[in-house]
Structure 1
Amino acid sequence: MILINLLPHREEKRRRRKQAFFAVLGFSALGGVLIVVLWYAVLQQMISTQQERNAFLQQEIRKLDEQIKDIANLRAEIEALKARQKAVEDLQTDRNMPVHLLNELVRQTPEGVYLTAIRQDGQTVSINGVAQTNERVSELLRNTAYNSTWLERPELIEIKAANVRTDGREQRRLFEFSMRVALKRPQDASAPAAAASAPAGSPS
């Protein structure tokens, strides 16, 4: 027996195709949404991880900043201690300078020269005195320039003839003078002495 389908089969096929198309479209949209959600979750995880790293780095940077401040404070304290130590050493070094100055003036002042005033200002010494002749003053300048261990760079400021009363009765024609001379520091004064003693102690 032959069966004849009198139903609208073309419309039924179109309806099924349309349902299949919308089903595929729905699955595709759902898949796309799932992919977007997963990608967003991955991005959020990456951002959260990076933020944790940034927070860790910021914390370590703050620790380093504190350490740098401590190091700077320690350096400042060390420099202050060094300055104090140098000041104490300079005081100890300069303590004996007047003794060296007076001894050296006694050694380098020639006969016929009398010192009337000595004033020290730091490393500069001002000297006033009287001499029997100009040559005596010149000899004093040469001695302090070339023969002195503790004195250097003498400078004659003024010299003039004057009648000076001696022993309360007699007037003598002398020469009043004033000069400046530089006082060497102990380390500067010891260097030439060490250099001079080195050849003497070396084997021939």
Structure 2
Amino acid sequence: MILINLLPHREEKRRLRKQAFYIGLGLSAVAGLVLVALWYAVQQQMISSQQARNEFLKSEITKLDEQIKDVSTLKEEIEALKARQKAVEDLQTDRNLPVHLLNELVRQTPEGIFLKQIRQDGDSVMVSGVAQTNERVSEFLRHTAYNSQWLERPELQEIKAASVTLADSKNPKRLFEFSVKVGLKRPQAAGAAASGASAPASRASAPQVN
């Protein structure tokens, strides 16, 4: 017996395909929404974590800024203390400079020179006096330039012939009035020069072994 289906099967298949298409579309939309929700949740979590890290970094930076301020203040205090200490040390060392200056002038002034005036202005000293000859003045310049521990850079300011009457003589003598400007070494520089001069002397005095 032959069975014939007289129902509109084509329309039924078309309806089933549409239904399946809409179901798949709905499932795709739901899956897309789920993915979007998951992505949004992950992004929010990442943003929250980054914000937490940013807040932590800000707090640490604030603490570091405070520490830097403390260190800067401490450095300024240390520099101020060093400056005061150096000022005190300079005052203590400068007290002996006039004594060293007079002793050095006594040692470096050759015979035939009489000093009349010594005037100190900071690290410069103006020395005025009379000499028997020009050679005595030249010798005084050489001594203060090369042999002096406390004097340096002598500069002849003026020299001129003059007739001077000495206390032990009634007749005027022809002498030379001069003025020399010399530099006064600081105690630290003088100590370094003395140690440098003593080193070659000790090497020169050491015995040689053949």
TM-score normalised by L of structure 2: 0.81
Secondary structure of 1:111's partner? Answer: coil
- For 1:83, the equivalent position in structure 2 comes to 83
Q: Distance in 2 between matches of 1:112 and 1:37?
A: 110
Distance change >3 Å, CA 19–CA 63, structure 1 → 2: same
- Aligned AA (2:181): R
Question: For residues 160 and 128 of structure 1, what CA distance do their matches in structure 2 show?
Answer: 12
Gaps of at least 5 residues in structure 2 are: none
What is the deviation of 1:99?
0.1
In structure 1, the partner of 2:202 is: 198
How big is each residue's C-alpha offset from its partner over 1:176-199, in whole Å with a ceiling of 9 and x where there is no partner? Answer: 110111222223333245325533
| TM-score using structure 1 length | 0.83
1:180 paired with 2:207, answer no
Is there any run of 5+ residues in structure 1 with no aligned partner, and where?
none
Let me know the Cα RMSD of the aligned residues.
2.8
Show the 5 A alignment for 1:114-125: 114-125=114-125
Q: Distance in 2 between matches of 1:24 and 1:197?
A: 107
Q: Are 2:61 and 1:61 equivalent residues in the alignment?
A: yes
Aligned partner letter, 1:69 = K
Identity of aligned residues (%): 70
Q: How do residues 46-195 of structure 1 correspond to structure 2 at under 5 angstroms?
A: 46-167=46-167, 170-189=171-190, 190-195=194-199
Deviation string, structure 1 residues 21-79 (Cα, Å, up to 9, x no partner): 22222122112111111111111111211121122222222222322232233223322
Q: 1:138 deviation in Å?
A: 2.5
Q: Which whole-Å CA distance do the structure 2 matches of 1:102 and 1:133 have between them?
A: 23
Query: How far did 1:4 drift?
Result: 6.9
Aligned residue pairs total 204
- Taking the aligned partners of 1:192 and 1:31, their CA distance within structure 2 comes to 91
